[in-house]
């Protein structure tokens, strides 16, 4: 047997969406697995649905009487992982799958954070690259804005200018970095451009991150009061209406927090269903609202920068960031047609980030007699039915598909999916290139 139903786990955090809301997607999907014994509460915020072997909330097999942990089954049956995966990652009980698959439902901003790279992760236990794909409208912070935008905000937002003590030297260094970056984007061969940008952003962001609470809290209050007054009196501001509204909204969720000023440093990204982003390690980000599928290396390492009551490790944070600066649209992860299936009427799409630990397939069947025949993968995969109904054939078995169903598919197992209705499957997998 190489295909079996999984019992996912549910996490409740304050930033999740309450069970009584119509758009509580995590709660909706959790209800599809009777063995989870999920008791939906109208006032409980449901934030994450976990699918994998992470020790904090590991999945179990649904159809086995003893409900064994997935990682226990994989340890006893390493063939389900595939020879290449076992050779590379082993079968440790601490995490047989190198990736963790999640659904997130977000009603308010999570902390601004970054995940460590391999070198730093040796001290913090594991690295955590991250990919997310919108299943409904989503917004978030992702990476540093172009230097020119940051410099502009420092010059025109008086509260930001004040807390940074933005003297001529800082502005000149940022101006030099902005010019180097723009020339690089135009094709200049200045090999030092990236380092110039790195040094300037590290200096400016380091000043922000190290600002004393007694300084930044009054500045936040002054900024928010000014934006609220402008909105009430229909006054023109130095920033766009969207930026002002975001500052006010973040203060309502995280009052007087230093992270509110990160609005002027970080890109604000808006995704529509089907659009995706990949986050390298050491990149600052925060989820603001919406619903996403998230796939990540199996780690819970995080260093926080703001929008949180939890401790911020400022020194580690400032030193670990890459200070890669880019335009928001440049951060999208483009989907490609996957060559591993024959599908009607729509092709299966592959989201393939530039790392080994995971990739994601999305199959969408929309017409009657829709069908997708997918080749065997040389590694394990976890399938989530995001929407619709259908049937999956594999290993001589037939499995009914319905929204919220979670399946594990072992290595070297071809599958065939069919539906007379709309059906959307997302499949996280690991396949090591030969």
Q: Which is the catalytic residue, given 60, 226, 304, 312?
A: 304
DSSP 376: P
CB atoms within 10 A of CB 120: 18
Q: In sequence order, which ranges of 347-401 are alpha helices (DSSP H)?
A: none
Phi then psi dihedrals of residue 373, to 5 deg: -105, 115
Q: Which residue, 406, 414, 404, 410, is CA-closest to 429?
A: 410
- Let me know if 304 is a catalytic residue: yes
CA distance 75 to 428: 20
Contact 67, 7 (CB under 8 A): yes
Q: At what angle do helices 147-156 and 193-209 cross, to 10 degrees?
A: 40
The angle formed by the CA atoms of residues 110, 116 and 154, to the nearest 5 degrees, is 60
End-to-end CA distance of the chain: 25
Q: According to the annotation, is 291 in a ligand binding site? A: no
Q: Which pair of structure tokens corresponds to residue 177? A: 């970095």
Phi then psi dihedrals of residue 166, to 5 deg: -75, 85
Residues 6+ apart with CB under 8 A from 279: 115, 129, 130, 131, 132, 142, 143, 285
CB atoms within 10 A of CB 44: 17
Q: Which residue, 389, 379, 382, 428, is CA-closest to 406?
A: 382
In SS3 terms, 246-312 reads as: HHHHHHHHCCCCHHHHHHHCEEEEEECCCCEEEECCCCCEEEEEEEEEEEEECCCCCEEEECCCCCC
Q: According to the annotation, is 285 in a ligand binding site? A: yes
CB atoms within 10 A of CB 280: 17
Q: According to the annotation, is 165 in a ligand binding site? A: no
CA distance 245 to 253: 13
Q: Which residue, 32, 10, 94, 23, is CA-closest to 273?
A: 23
Q: Catalytic residues, which ones?
A: 304
Annotated binding site for Zn(2+): 113, 115, 285
């Amino acid at each position: 047997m190489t295909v079996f139903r999984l019992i996912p786990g549910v996490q409740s955090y304050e930033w999740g969406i309450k069970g009584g809301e119509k758009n509580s997607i995590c709660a909706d999907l959790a209800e599809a697995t009777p063995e989870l014994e999920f008791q939906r509460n109208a006032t409980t915020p449901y934030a994450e649905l976990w699918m994998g072997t992470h020790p904090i909330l590991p999945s179990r097999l649904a159809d086995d009487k003893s409900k064994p942990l997935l990682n226990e089954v994989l340890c006893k049956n390493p063939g389900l992982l595939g020879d290449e995966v076992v050779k590379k990652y082993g079968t440790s009980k601490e995490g047989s799958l190198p990736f963790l698959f999640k659904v997130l439902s977000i009603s308010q901003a999570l902390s601004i954070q970054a995940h460590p790279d391999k070198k730093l992760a040796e001290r913090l236990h594991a690295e955590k690259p991250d990919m997310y794909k919108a299943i409904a409208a989503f917004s978030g912070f992702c990476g540093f804005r172009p230097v020119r935008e940051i410099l502009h905000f420092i010059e025109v937002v008086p509260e930001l200018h004040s807390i940074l003590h933005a003297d001529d030297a800082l502005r000149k260094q940022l101006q030099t970095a902005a010019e180097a970056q723009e020339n690089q984007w135009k094709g200049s061969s200045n090999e030092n451009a990236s380092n110039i940008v790195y040094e300037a952003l590290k200096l400016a962001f380091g000043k922000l991150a190290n600002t004393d609470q007694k300084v930044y809290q009054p500045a936040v209050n002054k900024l928010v009061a000014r934006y609220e007054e402008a909105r009430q009196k229909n006054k023109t501001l130095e920033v766009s209406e969207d930026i002002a509204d975001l500052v006010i909204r973040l203060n309502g969720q995280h009052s007087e927090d230093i992270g509110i000023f990160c609005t002027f440093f970080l890109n604000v990204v808006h995704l529509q269903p089907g659009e995706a982003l990949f986050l390298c390690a050491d990149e600052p980000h925060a989820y603001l609202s919406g619903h996403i599928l998230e796939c990540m290396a199996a780690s819970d390492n995080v260093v926080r920068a703001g929008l949180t009551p939890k401790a911020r490790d400022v020194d580690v944070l400032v030193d670990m960031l890459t200070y890669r600066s880019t335009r928001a649209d440049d951060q999208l992860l483009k989907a490609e047609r996957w060559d591993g299936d024959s599908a009607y009427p729509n092709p299966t799409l592959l989201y393939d980030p530039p790392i080994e630990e995971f990739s994601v397939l999305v199959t969408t069947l929309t017409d009657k007699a829709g069908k997708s025949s997918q080749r065997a993968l040389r590694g394990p995969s976890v399938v989530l039915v995001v929407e619709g109904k259908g049937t999956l054939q594999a290993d001589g078995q037939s499995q009914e598909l319905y929204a919220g169903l979670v399946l594990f598919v072992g290595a070297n197992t071809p599958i065939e999916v069919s539906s007379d209705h709309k059906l959307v499957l997302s499949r996280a997998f690991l396949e090591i290139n030969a």
